[in-house]
Structure 1
């Protein structure tokens, strides 16, 4: 379930097929495999509420100007990231979170691991014809973020609240699976289990490795919770 945290957030950031001038942000290579799952599409629909100009600015500026953000993005491409993601997914604490969703009738492929969540929502490295073009984006000045968590928070804050509430209400009405997912995610029992996951002995090593590479799961989960707390009660 942790995948949701990270995933939601940082895949909230990729607008499929969006390109400004010669600045291109492409979905992660494995994204197509997850896109067939409805929950992944739900996450992407939330992500796509972000203005494309804002999305491109934060991701591109962060990667080319901020070492901490670049380190996190580069780490996500490594075998070690896949390894610690699987270690976390195999832990009893993470499996307990997954069981909450499966028992509620939610297909859990998209959230079966942190790497799955990132594959669904996260982006690949931006490609530039000329890095200086980032200064040409026509938008209001934005404080340049330094970490993956900073970028995630800025993008969460960039989601229009009225559109978010409307989208969530629509999905709750149209999809029983999303409604079940939403109910579990917002439950006090689920959030208590997330805290246990973050502090569990078996989770300590993979979580610490992620943190050393500037991926803070606790903060990312807080931001995901913030998104869904704007929805209907």
Structure 2
């Protein structure tokens, strides 16, 4: 099942807003024994917890390999605009790893219609686009947790309560443990993540509806 396209300008219902606020407070109190100081709201996450970029030389020349390495360095330095330009020649030749990284950069830059571009690029390896279900981001100077509106009742797939709780818990866990982009899921994180109630059902639902999970993208 492919992920449907969501319009960032669509309006979440007030009932969904209230539901998420109450659920976030519940997760904070029940799992972390303290109120969260980070607002949790619906949105379209730009961050992705996909695997870190890896280089597979394939049929690349030495010059191309150097260019690809330089593109990855730009990405790691968070110079996303420059990295995007550097990767475009590799996307044009359907280099799989470069294409995956390019899609991630489109999300970081919030490029208009990035999902359409990603669907076309993803045909290199799959016909399905997988997207992050949640992320922690800084918006207008404030740190917020974004829960993908595709999980909502008014704009999305009406995800089971346990799914929204799990995604919220997952993002709060990142904050509690202070994980880094270089190592987002260390052993302690994975152990605590696996202890979440109804986790198997939740992961299966997310994968079915084309969302990234810590266990990968396919059931």
Q: TM-score, normalised by structure 2?
A: 0.30
Q: TM-score, normalised by structure 1?
A: 0.28
Larger strand fraction of residues: 2
Larger helix fraction of residues: 1
**Structure with greater Cα Rg:** 2
